[in-house]
């Protein structure tokens, strides 16, 4: 397996990355792939909080349960604990790479939708400032990214 521990990274760890984590956990299990997933935020403002209620609601409609999520901030040790660190947008990726201790570690960080699919949009838009439609769109985008992730992990293990 090219990655057995995947960390999804966004800014606040209350919208995009907890969603991606939850979608990935479910779809990876369905696919029979033994990959552990987690998420965090580059910022610490929401550490300890649950996911945004708007995100929880949109995810629930699609069958994903974010109710147990607790936000946490990215830490340097994440580069030792995870072998693939997937950033939601380029700002997140920049912050991730700043924290990498070596260039080898930095190479484990990538843009989620670029690594998994490479079709536009390559950046996962932040739904936080928008309306409910943005949160619904986030669920679709997370499903698409995770489908690409599974395909790539499968291809690599063939
Ligand atoms: P996320 O969304 O990075 O997808 O969790 C955000 C959550 C909170 C903030 C920004 C983005 N904030 O500025 O507090």
Encode pLDDT of 50-109 as tens digits. Answer: 999 999 999 999 999 999 999 999 999 999 999 999 999 999 999 999 999 999 999 999
Report if pTM > 0.85.
yes
Q: Tell me the per-residue pLDDT of 131-155, one tens digit each, with 9 for 90 and over.
A: 999 999 999 999 999 999 999 999 8
Answer for the pair 80, 59: CB distance below 8 angstroms, yes or no: no
Answer for the pair 25, 37: CB distance below 8 angstroms, yes or no: yes
CA of 46 to the centre of ligand 1 (A): 8
CA of 1 to the centre of ligand 1 (A): 31
Please work out whether the CB of residue 40 comes within 6 Å of at least one atom of ligand 1.
Answer: no
Distance (Å, whole) CA 142 – CA 20: 5
* Active site (annotated) includes residue 15: no
* Active site (annotated) includes residue 40: no
- Per DSSP, 127 falls in state G
- pLDDT value at residue 158: 74
């Amino acid at each position: 397996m090219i990655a057995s521990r995947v960390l999804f990274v966004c800014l606040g760890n209350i919208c995009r990355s907890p969603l991606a984590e939850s979608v990935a956990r479910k779809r990876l299990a369905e696919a029979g792939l033994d990959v552990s997933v987690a998420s965090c935020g580059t910022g610490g403002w929401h550490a300890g909080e649950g996911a945004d209620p708007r995100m929880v609601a949109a995810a629930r409609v699609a069958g994903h349960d974010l109710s147990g999520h607790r936000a946490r901030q990215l830490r340097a040790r994440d580069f030792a604990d995870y072998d693939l660190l997937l950033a939601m947008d380029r700002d997140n990726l920049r912050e991730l790479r700043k924290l990498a201790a070596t260039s080898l570690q930095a190479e484990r960080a990538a843009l989620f939708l670029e690594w998994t699919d490479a079709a536009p949009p390559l950046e996962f838009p932040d739904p936080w400032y928008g309306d409910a439609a943005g949160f619904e769109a986030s669920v679709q985008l997370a499903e698409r990214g995770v489908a690409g992730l599974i395909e790539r992990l499968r291809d690599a293990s063939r």
